[in-house]
Chains A and B, each alone.
Chain A
């Protein structure tokens, strides 16, 4: 191979990779900014017929992200707190001052009785890899949820939390969010 051909191929690799990466980055940024886990949690709770309650903590506080809802059989409101899978939840839960509440952790299609960061990161890796091939049913977003429920509730709420990360739901919600006059 001569110099010009080698240089041409290398230059092509440089330009093509940059063009493709810029495009891929824009798609990902758009996906991340469109994914609102709080809205997804709220929608899933509403779909199961539970009444939403107002969160006493207001933005910009971290705990303002919690979604409160009332189960008829429970004496107090339950809440769902979205958080980054690498964060430690104990300080956040301590500040919510509900030590007697039973906690369950959910991330995509798995649940845990206590926080398991490594397992959640592995789940994220698994679905990120599947997503590359278009085979992930979930949006591989690095936010999990904690469900905290008051004592005497007879088990956790019968809600399929997997739908929070469901890709079809995400695309439907995204489509519904588009203004009718946009894009023409």
Chain B
């Protein structure tokens, strides 16, 4: 019996369905950790504040798996993976940490990419799943270890800009103090790292929704998106440091929603533009 022959334990279902089950389990378990289930109101509020790009990426992963070869049967290793991931998901659901599902999602993604064979849809789904687990688990771990360094880098950019625009604002590493007594200090949520992480996920999700292969120019698009995210965040922090009224509007007032929406639309626009087939390829 060859390696690609149908085998235990998924003889009855297609390879596509066998891959869809653990993926749906993983995404559903990750989603549960992103919503507040303590009360109906808290649940509704947490739904309203969801990261739309995250859900777009979930859709991209499911979409690509659904588009994979329907006729292919699961191999022995596919069957073992599905069984192992499903059992692991149940066992790790006792742990209220994102790390466990993130680790399983990374392992599943690695398997999809490795075992996709000629099915490019499975490989694309693996790439999106890997990006999702990176955004939810590996990115936050990296950020936790290097928060001060990343904040200092953001503070440096903001400080350099404010030095020329508002020399009266006193800048010391990650703190900015205006002469009228208004002062801000950068904390974790201010870092452009979070915006970059979401923007990269958007690029991966939209590219893999549009096509199943990477192109050389994708690197350029991603680099541009990263630079735009850093500049936007720097601009926002400059506004927060400017004076009290500006801080109240852009941090606590309608400006925060306007900025967030504008940023999301810009990221999606860049990602969508970057994912279009190049003229040479067309």
Q: Given contacts A6-B9, A88-B151, is CB(A128)–CB(B188) below 8 Å?
A: no
Partner of A27, one of B9, B12, B29, B96: B96
Complex Cα distance, B38 from A6, in Å, reads 33
Closest to B140 in A: A86
Interface residues contributed by chain B, number (CB under 8 Å)? 41
Q: Which of the segments B113-121, B142-150, B240-248, B254-262 contacts the partner chain?
A: B142-150
Interface string of B161-187 (1 = CB under 8 A from A): 000000000001111000000000101
Which residues of B12-48 have CB atoms within 8 Å of chain A's CB atoms?
12-13, 21-22, 24-25, 28-29, 32-33, 36-38
Q: Which of B12, B37, B38, B82 contacts A3 (CB 8 A)?
A: B12
Given known pairs A17-B25, A88-B151, the reply for A25 and B37 (CB within 8 Å) is yes
Residue of B nearest to A85 (CB): B144
Q: Which residues of A contact B22 (CB under 8 A)?
A: 10
Contact residues in B for A10 (Cβ distance below 8 Å): 21-22, 25, 82, 86
Q: How far is the CA of A94 from the CA of B82 in the complex (A)?
A: 53
A77 CB to nearest chain B CB (Å): 23
CB-based contact B93/A24 at 8 Å = yes
Q: Which residue of A lies closest to B86 (CB)?
A: A13
Q: Using A87-B148, A121-B145 as known contacts, say yes or no to A18 and B13 having CB atoms under 8 A apart.
A: no
Given known A1-B9, A87-B188, A91-B175, contact A28–B28 (CB-CB < 8 A): no
Interface residues of A in 1-57 (CB under 8 A from B): 1-7, 9-10, 13-14, 16-18, 20-22, 24-29
- The distance from the CB of B96 to the nearest CB of chain A, in whole angstroms, is 4
A10 to B37, CA, bound (A): 23
Complex alpha-carbon distance, A14 and B69, angstroms: 24
Interfacial residues of chain B within 172-228, with CB under 8 A of chain A in the complex = 172-175, 185, 187-188
Q: Which listed residue, A13, A26, A92, touches B25 by the CB 8 Å rule?
A: A13
Q: Total interface residues on A, using CB and 8 Å?
A: 38
In the complex with contacts A9-B86, A91-B174, A91-B185, A29-B32 CB distance below 8 A? no
Residues from chain B with Cβ under 8 Å of A18 in the complex: 28-29, 32, 93
Q: Are B145 and A86 in contact (CB under 8 A)?
A: yes
B10 to chain A, nearest CB (A): 6
Q: Which residues of B contact A90 (CB under 8 A)?
A: 173
B241 to chain A, nearest CB (A): 14
Mark contacts of B122-152 with chain A using CB atoms, 8 A cut-off: 1 yes-contact digit, 0 otherwise.
0000000000000000000001110110010
Shortest beta-carbon distance from B106 to chain A in Å: 17
Report the Cα distance A4→B133, complex, angstroms.
Answer: 30
Nearest residue, chain A, Cβ from B148: A88
- B99: shortest Cβ distance to chain A, in Å? 9
Is A158 close to B, CB under 8 A? no
Partner of A2, one of B12, B82, B86, B97: B12
Write the nearest CB–CB distance from B27 to chain A, whole angstroms.
Answer: 10
Indicate if the CB atoms of A6 and B12 lie closer than 8 Å: yes
- B93 CB contacts on chain A under 8 angstroms: 16-18, 20-21, 24
Q: Which residues of A contact B12 (CB under 8 A)?
A: 1-6
Q: A13-B89, A132-B95 are in contact. List 13 more A-B contacts (CB 8 A).
A: A10-B25, A10-B86, A14-B21, A17-B90, A17-B92, A18-B29, A22-B32, A24-B94, A25-B33, A90-B173, A95-B175, A128-B97, A132-B94
- What are 15 residue pairs bridging A and B, where the CB atoms are less than 8 Å apart in the complex? A1-B8, A4-B12, A10-B22, A10-B25, A10-B82, A13-B89, A17-B25, A17-B28, A20-B94, A21-B32, A29-B38, A62-B185, A90-B173, A91-B172, A91-B174
